[in-house]
């Protein structure tokens, strides 16, 4: 099962939800999962021109869509590395069939002072004879300052996200479809929950689900070692993967809260390599 690629695709969807401004994101494993919930992870995002910086404290990453590169900065070791975009995605992701559906439910509520509406994106996936479903529940607000800048950034650079799929037509197709549907949304996700479930069925299917989860863990560990944007995504996914679950229960679940939105100008120095750091 190509679960690692699917998890990367889901995290890419979270990433696409914001653009061309700055904000803080707190991501945590939901309570009720099989296995202990991971400690919350706080990441600061900065978008400007064709560049994105996301800083999780010990490590920072800069994606340059113009140069098609991903730069990883290790603050503790005072080193950095530069890789071409799309270098980490395995080509066998082409065998993954992904169907995406996005619906506005009509539900509304106020979150952190923002008027939000509920949007649910469902990814139905099939690979190696096994079906899975990934549901992303987003509470989106057009009250967030700078969301128009997000759309402008997305329209300018969104197509470059397909480079994350490398030579994988299957994932490229899913990325393109996801971009098309998300571009129609007005606003930014203030609260978002992602759940990955196996299709309810026979014991054989559940066995395949557990095997797929083990394969996903191994693949994510491999991706994490390679660094870059996908390496960071893989590390975040690993931190939240449960030890196991029953039929219909989430194999993967994470909740993301976004705050500190700002449309203020971002200086170019934010994206610079710190003085004294050595390139690996």
pLDDT digits (tens, 9 = 90+) for 144-180: 988 888 777 777 776 666 555 555 566 666 666 666 6
Nearest-angstrom CA–CA distance, 64 and 83: 11
Q: What pLDDT sits at residue 14? A: 54
Nearest-angstrom CA–CA distance, 218 and 198: 18
Residue 99 belongs to a domain: yes
Reported as a pLDDT band with limits 50, 70 and 90, residue 94 is low
Residue 29 belongs to a domain: yes
- What mean pLDDT, rounded, does the chain reach? 76
Whether 19 contacts 184, CB under 8 Å: no
Residue 275 belongs to a domain: no
| DSSP assignment letter at 36 | P
Please give the angle made by the CA atoms of 86, 87 and 88, to the nearest 5 degrees. 95
CA dihedral defined by 116, 254, 14, 219, rounded to 10 degrees? -170
Chain segment 216-248, per-residue pLDDT in tens: 778 878 887 877 666 777 776 666 555 444 445
Most confident of 9-23, 78-92, 161-175: 78-92
Residue 169 belongs to a domain: yes
Residue 270 belongs to a domain: no
Residue 64 belongs to a domain: yes
Residue 92 belongs to a domain: yes
Residue 217 belongs to a domain: yes
Q: What is the mean predicted confidence (pLDDT) over 28-45?
A: 67
| Phi, psi angle pair for 189, to nearest 5° | -75, 115
Reported as a pLDDT band with limits 50, 70 and 90, residue 203 is very low
- pTM comes to 0.70
Domain total for the chain?
1
Most confident of 81-90, 170-179, 196-205, 233-242: 81-90
* Domain span at 62: 3-259
- In DSSP terms, 69 is beta-bridged to 64, 84
């Amino acid at each position: 099962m190509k679960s690692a690629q699917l998890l990367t695709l889901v995290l890419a969807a979270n990433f696409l939800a914001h653009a061309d401004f700055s904000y803080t994101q707190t991501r945590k494993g939901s309570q009720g999962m099989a296995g202990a919930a991971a400690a919350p992870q706080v990441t600061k995002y900065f978008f400007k021109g064709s560049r994105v910086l996301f800083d999780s404290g010990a490590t920072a990453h800069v994606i340059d869509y113009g140069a098609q590169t991903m730069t990883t900065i290790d603050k503790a070791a005072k080193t950095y590395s530069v890789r071409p975009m799309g270098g980490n995605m395995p080509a066998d992701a082409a065998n993954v069939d992904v169907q995406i559906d996005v619906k506005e439910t009509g539900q509304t509520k106020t979150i952190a002072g923002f008027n939000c509406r509920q949007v649910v994106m469902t990814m139905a996936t099939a690979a190696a004879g096994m079906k899975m479903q990934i549901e992303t529940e987003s509470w989106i607000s057009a009250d967030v300052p700078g969301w128009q800048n997000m759309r402008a950034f997305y329209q300018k650079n969104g197509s470059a996200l397909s480079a994350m799929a490398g030579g994988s037509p299957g994932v490229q197709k899913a990325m393109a479809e996801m971009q098309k549907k998300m571009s129609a949304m007005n606003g930014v996700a203030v609260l978002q929950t992602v759940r990955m479930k196996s299709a309810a069925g026979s014991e054989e299917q559940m066995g395949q689900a557990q095997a797929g989860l083990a394969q996903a863990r191994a693949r994510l560990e491999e991706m994490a070692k390679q660094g870059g944007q996908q390496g960071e995504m893989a590390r975040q996914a690993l931190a939240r993967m449960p030890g196991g679950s029953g039929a219909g229960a989430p194999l993967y679940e994470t909740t993301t809260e976004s705050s500190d939105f700002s449309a203020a100008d971002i200086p170019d120095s934010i994206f610079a390599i710190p003085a004294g750091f050595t390139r690996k």
